[in-house]
Amino acid sequence: MITCVGPIFLDRVIKIDRFPEKPIKLIANGLEKRLGGPAPVASFAIKFLGGDAEFVGRFGSDDAADFLKSEFLESSIPIEKSIIVEGAQTSQSHIFEDSLGERMLAVFNEKKLTNETTLPGFNFSGNQSYLVDTNWIEAAHFVSIQSNKHQINCVVDLDNFSNSNLVDEVVNSASHPIFSEIGLSRYMENMPIIDALRSLYQKNNKFYAVTLGDRGVYWIEDGNVFHCESPKIEVKETNGAGDVFHGAFAKFIETKTTQEAIELATACATLKCTRIGGIKTLPNNKEVIEFSKQIKPSKPI
């Protein structure tokens, strides 16, 4: 079982032709209501790939929570360990997405929800692994520390966060810290990517990775830096691609080599970018395996 831990959002996706150069009134081409958030989307990616996944997060007690819970129920993804914060609003985001698939997000988190200190009961047995999002830093910290003690996989999504001692301990404890480009730049104080990965490895000899969108993925393992290129595609939608990558990597790293897991996760995220529809159009395992034939073998740097 892969347990995905982090915030969940009700996404309201607003389709526009293009982003304006200055604030003006726009005519939207469409409006969709979707499940969002790195950890929850990752749980759906794992499920679509044939893996066992559950989600643990914090829900409010509103209509948004009811909708999100119904999405998990429809796909048979357990959420029973999640925290329900009575009287709180579930987190929401408004996403403006242009015709090229690029997006801009505005996120709302109610303090009553994010200030909830209760942590769920977690299982750290040998057949368990985790994927955590540092935006719920208390849970991410606890899970990464315990995963390290029990020597089980813990994939960390390091994107939107503020540097802190807790984040340091998550990065140092987790088996597979994966940064976004912005996340790595922030954490390593704008150090060039290759230098940043090598510096991290010198402090703690283990796997580190950074995702770069259409420029692929860099990672370091056993002291060597590698690069996996993303294949060229016609982009339909980029929203959630990073979340899908993390979920796919968490699933494949259970049985594959690091290179294989990176390349298959890259294939999965790339395929997701060719489709519109969020979690409703995620690729399955057969599609990913077939599409991965377009991925060039990763190269050492």
Instruction: Band the pLDDT of 59: cuts 50, 70, 90.
Output: very high
CA distance linking residue 287 with residue 182, whole number of Å: 30
CATH number for the domain running over 2-300: 3.40.1190.20
pLDDT at residue 58 in the model: 97
pLDDT at residue 116 in the model: 94
pLDDT at residue 100 in the model: 82
CB under 8 Å to 115, separation ≥6 — which residues? none
CB under 8 Å to 78, separation ≥6 — which residues? 54, 55, 72
pLDDT at residue 152 in the model: 96
CA distance linking residue 291 with residue 228, whole number of Å: 15
CA distance linking residue 95 with residue 84, whole number of Å: 25
pLDDT tens for residues 117-157?
999 999 998 899 999 999 999 999 999 999 999 999 999 99
Is residue 206 over pLDDT 80?
Answer: yes
pLDDT at residue 211 in the model: 98
CA distance linking residue 167 with residue 276, whole number of Å: 33
Q: What is the mean pLDDT of the chain?
A: 95
pLDDT at residue 69 in the model: 98
The pTM score is: 0.93
Tokens 């709302």 identify what position? 108
Is residue 23 over pLDDT 90?
Answer: no
34, 117 contact by CB (below 8 A): no
What percent of the chain has pLDDT above 90?
Answer: 89
pLDDT at residue 101 in the model: 75
pLDDT at residue 123 in the model: 93
Is residue 52 over pLDDT 90?
Answer: yes
Instruction: Band the pLDDT of 105: cuts 50, 70, 90.
Output: confident
Is residue 102 over pLDDT 90?
Answer: no
pLDDT at residue 270 in the model: 97
Instruction: Band the pLDDT of 238: cuts 50, 70, 90.
Output: confident
Is residue 19 over pLDDT 80?
Answer: yes
Average pLDDT over residues 266-279: 95
- Select the more confidently predicted residue: 236 or 133: 133
Average pLDDT over residues 155-164: 94
3-state class of 35 per DSSP?
A: strand
pLDDT at residue 48 in the model: 98
Is residue 97 over pLDDT 90?
Answer: no
